[in-house]
Amino acid sequence: MSGFYFFINSNKPMKTIHQISPTPLTFQLLENFLEGEVEIKLSNESKTLIQKCRTYLDNKVKNQQEPIYGITTGFGSLCKQTISPDQLAQLQKNLVMSHACSTGIEVSTEIVRLMLFLKAHALSMGNSGVQVITVQRILDMLNHNILPIVYDRGSLGASGDLAPLSNLFLPLLGLGEVKYQGVKRNAEDVLKELGWQPIELQSKEGLALLNGTQFMSSHAVFALLKAFKLSKLADIISSVSLEAFDGRIEPFHANLQMVRPHQGQIETAKNIRKILEGSELITRPKKHVQDPYSFRCIPQVHGASKDAINYVASVVLIEINSVTDNPTIWPDEDLIISGGNFHGQPLALSLDFLALSLAELGNISERRTAQLILGLRGLPEFLVANPGLNSGFMIPQYAAASMVSQNKMYCFPASCDSIVSSNGQEDHVSMGANSATKVLKVIDNLERILAIELMDAAQALDFRRPAKTSPYLEEFVGEFRNVVKFINEDKIMYHEIEKTVEFIRKGKFNSFE
């Protein structure tokens, strides 16, 4: 087979332990973290690195007369203001409180968990000057499922994700709100209930927590985990459509791909060929010599999206394994450097690219849906036996078309915009946070667009009976028919759409090569 197999996963993952350390994170680890009962611990290696950097910074502040940005000075355009030693802790607390300006809709718990995890990982490298107890408290919050309330708007994606990360870390100070045991509560009350004292931030710590790209990168990780799956699903569902439309296999021939050897194109064509192995329908004689582009060009379109997804994944892997706060500290070299690693431009451009690549999977999917309801190649119009009295699958295509159009709107690149902030000190920003939030809207639409194609394709395939498709697709469609039945007469269709969306969300891919 093609190296992946669709099945409905009902098993709860086993509890595992992950040691936070400078060891690079992987997408598989992060997927396991989101899906399983994972306890997070701070490795001894990272405790040593963190404490070494903190001790160095304390000595530096005590002995150096020259100002150090964000440590003994104000922030942004206030960097000319010197802060006295007895006010350094208050400076950091003020920073967190004043910058907690995220607003809008609450960020999902999955992304909040990723934000905490990714920030702890970045701080574990020992270049940020935080206390060990600060990183440990972040992990304690994760392990006790105490999730700060963060909102989806307010970050420029330039000085890091200042506003949402401020909301994320207010609870360390006993401020702000958290979701605990499914209830939204004041963080102060939850800390008291658990017997935890608020963290007393030391010099530089507030800046280390708020500077960074963890809002953008958490959205990126979440989006990519969805994208990996939806890209494979698009191949499977389009294969059902190809069979239902009585399509031809020749456009998927290996020779055709090798003379234009884009990796995604090669992979897509190989997937389709393997998915259709043993199909009666695909091998029977055809009256037509060509299929429409939405079928014939699946390798080229799906493949280009695969290549784009893989490129974005390479950027995000670098990002989540980087130090992105400012200034950055190297104790062994006696260096504290103020730079721009918090700037989100790599993520902003990549997430706009990801939105485009996923929107195109939806665009071509809707065109296949439209072809299936036109009454072509022996299929009934709107895929019902008695059209006229029954509207059948007429309006699901409308819904898909609406979402395809909406995705085009979401594909306007946020990364091409910039608005000056901090009185001109921060005069170019990435707007990567807007790139991050809108790509999730594209993904939500794509799931539904593919769900509608699957509904139509399965319905059309049943009109080809008793002829059979491949064993792979017979099993896949059989699983689907346990959830959504063949439609003989009109019924309330949004129920069927929602059941199909749930079906594709619950399905997992298990590699067995």
What does the block give as tokens for 149?
A: 């309330």
What does the block give as tokens for 271?
A: 């997937």
| Torsion, CA 356, CA 360, CA 361, CA 362, rounded to 10 | 100
Q: Determine contact, residues 217/347, Cβ cutoff 8 Å.
A: yes
User: Is-catalytic flag, 69?
Assistant: yes
Selected catalytic residue, list 69, 151, 410, 494: 69
Instruction: Round to whole Å and give the CA distance between 129 and 51.
Output: 8
Instruction: Round to whole Å and give the CA distance between 103 and 110.
Output: 18
Q: How far is CA 315 from the centre of its chain?
A: 13
CA distances from 100 to 76, 83, 129, 324, 371 (A): 16, 21, 21, 19, 50
Instruction: Round to whole Å and give the CA distance between 269 and 364.
Output: 16
Angle (deg, nearest 10), helices 471-481 and 432-462: 100
DSSP-assigned letter for residue 75: S
Label the pairing between strands 38-42 and 16-20.
Answer: parallel
Nearest to 33 by CA among 96, 98, 113, 107: 113
| Secondary structure element (H or E) that encloses residue 178, with its range | strand 177-180
Pinpoint the alpha helices (H) of 278-344: 280-283, 293-296, 298-320
Q: How far is CA 490 from the centre of its chain?
A: 36
Instruction: Round to whole Å and give the CA distance between 124 and 42.
Output: 8
- So which residues are the catalytic ones? 69
